[in-house]
Amino acid sequence: MTEGTDRRREEMLREMGIGPLWRLRAPASGAAEPDGDAVQSQPMRVAEPVPVPVTVPSSPVDIAAAAIRDVAGMDWPALKTCVAECTACALHKGRNKTVFGVGDERADWLFVGEGPGADEDAQGEPFVGQAGKLLDNMLAAIHLKRGTNVYIANIVKCRPPGNRNPQAEEAAACSPYLERQIELIRPKLIVALGKVAAVNLLGRDASISSLRGSVHDCNGIPLIVTYHPAYLLRTLPDKAKAWEDLCFAVNTMRGLSPASIAGASVP
């Protein structure tokens, strides 16, 4: 090869981080110059590998923490816009509408379900199907009304496929939105409708039967657990138990402060 070709080859190898494949060994003092057959190869020098960042999939806790930073301090309009544009979990791919929540934004009473169904997904409002009608009847039984001193929300804002329970990562991705809603509403009492709502709000797994009849703490706010209206439509005998829970909720609210039970009473 010509001298120019050799030079270009060496420059190319240096740019790639690879040294010459071989080099002539310097002759010992007084020794004869070696001929071409005496050339000995040296080991190839390979460039140090460049570290490649490894992306670790976010855990539900990581997703929630990131979302909390995003929504902290948001007012109602900003929060509603954020939820409407949310793509934090896979549920957004199949939704018709996000279901933000509805009601009095300074309500004393906050009712939380698990997630939207088909009717809710179509209309963008929680509890508008048969379960919603039953919830309205439950509210009326204790002299409460949707939108008047009552706010209704869900653990997740998008409908899970086939109305299945929300998965852990879906609930975690959505939890900052509900947490910010609670901060803005500042309810005096939260009523968890069903096990999914209860375990996500309380952060521990337990059965409905073990959670009913007690006042729990949700970040400093009293929380009562009862059955989800959709469950009651399938299990009519437990309506009596749900009535007991509603009476217990009213008595709990009455014990918080006289002014906090506006519009609610046990018949």
**44 found inside a domain:** no
**241 found inside a domain:** yes
**121 found inside a domain:** yes
**247 found inside a domain:** yes
Q: Are 83 and 100 within 8 A, CB to CB?
A: yes
Give the span between the Cα atoms of 245 and 142, in whole angstroms.
11
- Which CATH number do you get for residue 158? 3.40.470.10
Domain span including residue 234: 60-257
**10 found inside a domain:** no
Confidence at residue 50, expressed as pLDDT on a 0 to 100 scale: 46
H-only helix segments in the chain: 3-15, 60-71, 76-84, 118-123, 130-141, 168-185, 195-202, 208-211, 229-234, 239-256
Q: How far is CA 94 from CA 91, 120, 163, in A?
A: 6, 13, 12
Please give the average pLDDT of every successive group of 10 residues along the chain, which has 267 residues: 57 50 46 42 47 44 55 95 96 96 98 96 96 97 97 98 95 97 98 98 96 97 98 96 98 78 53
Confidence at residue 70, expressed as pLDDT on a 0 to 100 scale: 80
Task: Please tell me whether residue 97 adopts helix, strand or coil conformation.
Answer: coil
Confidence at residue 38, expressed as pLDDT on a 0 to 100 scale: 38
Confidence at residue 242, expressed as pLDDT on a 0 to 100 scale: 98
Spatial strand order of the sheet with 189-193 comes to 102-103, 150-154, 109-113, 189-193, 221-226, 216-218
Q: How far is CA 135 from CA 66, 82, 125, 188, 238, in A?
A: 34, 27, 13, 19, 14
Confidence at residue 6, expressed as pLDDT on a 0 to 100 scale: 58
Give the span between the Cα atoms of 173 and 29, in whole angstroms.
75
**20 found inside a domain:** no
Task: Please tell me whether residue 187 adopts helix, strand or coil conformation.
Answer: coil
Confidence at residue 246, expressed as pLDDT on a 0 to 100 scale: 98
Tokens of 231: 């469950």
If you count DSSP H runs as helices and E runs as strands, how many of each does the chain have, helices first? 10, 6
Confidence at residue 230, expressed as pLDDT on a 0 to 100 scale: 96
Number of domains in the chain: 1
**23 found inside a domain:** no
Confidence at residue 119, expressed as pLDDT on a 0 to 100 scale: 95
**267 found inside a domain:** no
